[in-house]
A and B are shown apart, each in its own frame.
Chain A
Amino acid sequence: MKVAKGLLYTKDHEWVRVEGNKAYIGISDFAQEAMGDIVYVELPEIDEEFEQEDTLCAIESVKAANDIFLPLTGKVVEVNEALEEEPEAVNEDPYKNWIACVEMADESQLKDLMNAVAYEEFLAEAEEE
């Protein structure tokens, strides 16, 4: 299972890449693998505002709809529209193909996230269970 360095992770297997006061959100390799063939990405709308832990959007695999949670309170400023045409890109490279970018309202929330090392440990523990 690939875990990209330099990103932050949630227990729900989203990743966050911080650029200034913006946070790019995607799903981890573990998440795309677990979902299987992704057939549709339901993107949030620009300017939509979310609280920490809100459902940001959904990713549909062949089998099921999977909610994507936003780990940080903020406002959507960008969405990766390319995924509307090519949702399978998330399977191919989940770290390159981000889903949405939010302007963070409270950067102190970043401390709630795991770094790559902690996430790897988290995955290893989950594996043992």
Chain B
Amino acid sequence: MENVKRTPLYELHEELGGKIVDFAGWALPIQYTGISQEHHAVRKQAGLFDVSHMGEVLVTGKEALAFAQYLVTNDVSTLSDTQILYGMMCNESGGVVDDLLVYRLAQERVLLVINASNVDKDFAWISEKAKAFDIEVENQSDQTAQLAIQGPLGEEILQTLTEVDLKKIAFFHCQEGVTIKGRECLVSRTGYTGEDGFEIYCKPEEATDLARLILEAGKEKGLIPCGLGCRDTLRFEACLPLYGNEFDDSITPLEAGFSFFVKLDTEDDFIGKAALNKQKEEGLTRRLVGFEMAKGISRHGYPVMDGDREIGFVTTGYKSPTLGKSIGFAIVEMAYTEMGSEFEIKVRKKQLPARVVSKRFYRKNYKK
């Protein structure tokens, strides 16, 4: 793998037997022992992920919050200090530039956490839009490593390594200056698995030691290192979208079914708001649904058919490790979005029947 970036944990991944793949230009483990085992560990105990490939952009200055409000679809004005919000950055036509987390660290300091595959595109976009505001934007991605400890025992395990009372970090809140065995980190109660858990932002040179400490502290509780494979199955079951699958530059958040994160009724403007308002008024022509199949497994990109007619495409498909069922998300024409609607998925040469079910395949298990 040439021209592939390595996270600070690369040597540790190799040492732990990680199966390394090229993921969005980063050499990262797809799995260690197996996707299913790692998936179940996160649902039942805990798992540790290296998410250092994620991008971080720090926005500082008087208009940091006003800028964030203009940049993302969700209502940043509702945030208090240390609170976090999920939303999308849209382009003028309502397509999604990226989905991201907005951390209000302070009145004039906002951290944007963006997808690895989009860091360059996003930073260019953010920098361009920032010109109209009295702010500084800094791409801190290379100076930031990130670990994610996810699972019902995550808090208990991490608590053994810090004096800070983790119970005081509420869901979708963060705390700066959390000392984990002498290493200062930004810790947030967030995640991408549908379980309770924490994201830990640290200095790259301290990441490996931190990972070792967490692995050691969680060993007896069943925590194992986890790769990107189960990260995808976990987020999918919990109905958390993935950029490039459920939405992209050509799929709007309304079509992807994530209108909850698009606040069209606020007074403030955001990029893409006019286009999304228009789309809402005119009515959607297609929307994301969840589906279930009795036979076969669907994959990203498979065509959705009604007889000979293509009516949509699969955005994500798996055999769910938790449910043991073949499930998926697809963007289909509106006529097929009702619960119980039937269509077919083209799996290689065959068209296999599928039925629309709730997208909430797995009930999220957050501590709120």
Residues of A at the B interface (CB closer than 8 Å) are: 36-37, 39-40, 42, 55, 58, 60-65, 67
- Report yes or no: A65 in contact with B34, Cβ–Cβ below 8 A: no
Q: In the complex, which residues of chain B have a beta carbon less than 8 angstroms from the beta carbon of A60?
A: 297, 319
- The 9 listed contacts between A and B (C-beta, < 8 Å) are A36-B30, A36-B35, A36-B229, A37-B35, A39-B297, A40-B319, A42-B347, A42-B348, A63-B35
Counting contact residues on chain B (CB < 8 A from A), the size range is 20 to 34
- Chain A nearest CB: distance from B282 CB in Å? 37
B361 interface contact, C-beta 8 A: no
B61 within 8 A of A: no
Contact indicator A63/B296 (Cβ below 8 Å): no
- Which of B30, B36, B37, B299 neighbours the largest number of chain A CB atoms within 10 Å of its CB? B36
Chain B interface mostly: mixed
Main secondary structure of the interface of A (DSSP, over half): strand
Residues of B within 8 Å of A64, CB to CB, are: 299
**Which residue of B is nearest A61, CB measured?**
B35
**Complex-state Cα separation, A42 to B347, whole angstroms:** 10
Q: Are A39 and B30 neighbours in the complex by a CB distance under 8 Å?
A: no
In the complex, B146 has a CB within 8 A of chain A:
no
Which residue of chain A has its CB nearest to the CB of B229?
A: A63
Also in contact, A42 and B35, with CB within 8 A (given A36-B229, A62-B229, A62-B321)? no
Instruction: Please name the residue on chain A nearest to B35 by beta carbon.
Output: A62
**Cα distance, A65 to B318, chains bound together (Å):** 10
Residue of A nearest to B37 (CB): A37
Residues of A within 8 Å of B36, CB to CB, are 37, 39, 62
Task: Say yes or no: A37 contacts B30, CB within 8 Å.
Answer: no
A42 neighbours in B (Cβ, 8 Å): 296, 347-348
B252 adjacent to chain A (CB < 8 Å): no
B258-296 interface with A by 8 A CB criterion: 296
Partner of B297, one of A36, A40, A55: A40
In the assembled complex, the CB of A93 is this many whole angstroms from the nearest CB of chain B, namely 16
A37 touches which one: B34, B296, B299 (CB < 8 A)? Answer: B34
